[in-house]
Structure 1
Amino acid sequence: METALDALYTTPPPDFVARREELAAEARKAGRAGDARLIKAARRPTLAAWAANLLLRSRPQECEKLLELGRALREAYRTLDAAELKSLSAQRRVVSALTGQAAELADAAGHRLSAAVRQEVESTLGAVLADQEAADRWATGRLHTALTPPSVFPAGFAQPVLERPPRPPVTERKRRTNTKDEPDEPVERRRSAATSEATSEAVDELAERRRIRRERLARARETAEAAARLLSSARTEEAEADAGLGRARERREAARQRVSEAEQRLTEARAEARRADREQRQAEERHRTAAHALTTAEREAREAERVLSRLDPRGG
């Protein structure tokens, strides 16, 4: 079925419906009803979409380079500024050249493209450059309508100016009018080579810009890594200093606690000393009182003995 659809979408639009019915009938006859339904659902392409499909099938190498250029341009758009993108003028030549090849292929197949249709083909190829989804759709080779570049890209990025091909000599125009033979092979090869060269120039230009950007990015990363190392070292030093400050504060707090405890003990010792002083004074006072009482009692005892001796000289 894939082969059938590929063949269907390279069929000129005027013959598309008949060819679709033929292929669907063949699928039904072979017992592939599901394939027949898918073939019947295929939409008839516009002339511009058909020419774009025909270009993809007939010029695979040049078209692959266009897809590669589109990937590079989209990457550049994400990483570079608009001023640099505007300088990537080679993509204009690539799209214009491929549009010319599509027109030649269509002409060889018996369907000359008008200026308006050529503009639609060129718009489709511009969309392929600018948008990944458009590139994916074109890469299937089954477009049914022309594509339009997105409007979010900088002016001129994917909208090349349509360059009308030079009119062939009168004898060549007459020959093409009277016959549908293939274009002159040397001329076709030269044009294909010119398209390939223009595409290669664009890819090389982008590759150089990306190389310069990678070098700048590498230097910026080295600078950032050095700054990160310095920052890490400074943070380590700050953490060590903070830990040292914490230990010093702990020692200071412990010393203050010991001083407070010592001051408390000194206060208690002083109070105890004052109590001892009072008790000593009280004891000394009691001692003096007792000594005085003893002296008085001794004197009174001696006086009493003298009186007794006078009253009882014999002692008995």
Structure 2
Amino acid sequence: MNIENLKMFCLVVDEENISQAARLSFVSQPAVTRQIHQLENFYGTLLFDRAEGKLKVTETGRMLYPYAKSITNDFHRSKEAIQQATGEYNAILRVGASLTIGEYLLPSLLGRFKKQTPKIKVTLTIKNTPSILEDLSNDVIDLALVEGIVEDNHFVVEKFADDELVLVYPSDHPWRDRIEINIEELANERMIWRESISGTRLIVENTLREYGVLDKIESYMEIGSTQAIKSAVEAGLGVSILPRLTVARELEQGFLQEMKMTGIDIKRNLWLVKKPQRFNRVGVSRFVEFIK
């Protein structure tokens, strides 16, 4: 049994393509095929179905995949543990973050972490919450920081912070002379939303639905970027409810204004998500301690 064969098998499954796995591993396509054949000979079964020119994982291949992932991950962690004990270890931390956290919170957070642990190499991937959790599931990243709802029970999920959602409006809006509004008044405004899969939008919609306002909002605009939403609000195209993290600078500089809603306080949890592991990477353990 060759650990590299198992590693290559997992990569082919993840990429669904032998050529891509070969490119990512800097080896030839025949070399990848040879490794897969060696595994198939060892287990005495086909791991991929190559019919009709398409590569599909067989039932036995799907059975092998989680074991192969666990074996290769434990093998690499064993190397890290020994290298750390002998003083030859360079820790790597692969962090994934949803858009808001990755763009507005993590840069300063990782900067402070790097000052405390300069020997740990950190990489950061920023995507929407579903994509980041998919990367975590496929071991592309070591841990995830997300603000969206995490529904997968196979993950270990811990709250590490919270963030307030605030109603923002342009400086020349009729609200400028008011201290607060009733939430029902939002039905008369042009709301600017994030895309439908956004964790922030789901939280806002649930709140508006709870107060019977969501179905009354007829005029709205959907934009897939928080920065673009801020620009649209500033230009007078509507109002929006956004994380305070994302609008703190604009509120301070007066480009946007904040309006309180009577009796309404919308907050969301920020989550640290990991896969359950028998042995955590040193970088992961250090970062989790730092976050807490």
Larger Rg: 1
Q: TM-score range by the shorter chain?
A: under 0.3
Larger relative helix fraction: 1
What is the TM-score with the length of structure 2 in the denominator? 0.23
